[in-house]
Amino acid sequence: MKKILVIHGPNLQLLGHRNPSVYGRMSLSAINERLKVQARRFKAALTVIQSNHEGEIVEAIGKARGRCDGILINPAAYTHTSVAIRDALEAVGLPAVEVHLSNIYARESFRRKSLMSPVVTGQITGFGPESYTLGLNALIGLLTSRRPKR
Ligand code: DQA
């Protein structure tokens, strides 16, 4: 069974209330429920965390080594600022998919750069809660295929 760590970054606990015109009305717990149903279909096991603290996210990524097969991450605002999370993803060396609800390239200029994108396997941005579904699908496909993982 493939083990996947799902990481939601800062302020994503507010999904459902937070800027619904940008992020939609689905709550984080509803997104997580959907991901769990999807994972069950593929016989994958999910560990899900949400944190507003950079160091906690760095530690979770570091601890995934030897315990998880892949990472699905929405680093939220840290996408654009965190060298520490970027380095953790690079160091752990696991296949990782970066997801964003909004299309970060169609928004303010400070959001148009992801420090994560060079060190993840791929990025999905702009499909609302569907970004997570697509991301999990991509990650499971990657983990179960024979092609090189990174
Ligand atoms: C986000 C985009 C980020 O720019 C923002 O800071 C977030 C959410 C998204 O999912 O669209 O918190 O990662």
Which atom of ligand 1 approaches the CA of 74 most closely? Answer: 13
Q: Active-site residue 80, yes or no?
A: no
Ligand 1 atom 13 nearest Cα: 76
What is the number of the ligand 1 atom nearest to the C-alpha of 99? 10
Confidence of residue 145 (pLDDT cuts 50, 70, 90): confident
Global pTM value: 0.96
pLDDT at 120: 98
Please measure the distance between the N-terminal and C-terminal CA atoms of the chain and give it in whole angstroms: 20
Question: pLDDT at position 129, please?
Answer: 97
The number of the ligand 1 atom at minimal distance from the alpha carbon of 75 is 13
The Å distance, Cα 47 to ligand 1 centre, comes to 21
Label each residue of 42-104 as H, E or C: CCEEEEEEECCCHHHHHHHHHHCCCCCCEEEEECHHHHHCCHHHHHHHHHHCCCEEEEECCCH
Question: Considering the chain, what percentage of its residues have pLDDT values greater than 90?
Answer: 95
User: For the residues 27-55, what does the mean pLDDT come to?
Assistant: 97
- Contact between 60 and 51 under an 8 Å Cβ cutoff? The reply is yes
82-99 pLDDT, tens per residue? Answer: 999 999 999 999 999 999
Active site residue 100: yes
Write down all domains in the chain, each with its CATH number in brackets: 2-145 (3.40.50.9100)
Residue nearest to atom 8 of ligand 1 (CA): 76
The DSSP call for residue 39 is H
Query: 102-111: per-residue pLDDT in tens?
Result: 999 999 999 9
CA distance linking residue 74 with residue 77, whole number of Å: 9
Residue 67 has pLDDT above 80, yes or no: yes
Which residue's alpha carbon is nearest to atom 1 within ligand 1? 76
| Average pLDDT across the chain, whole number | 96
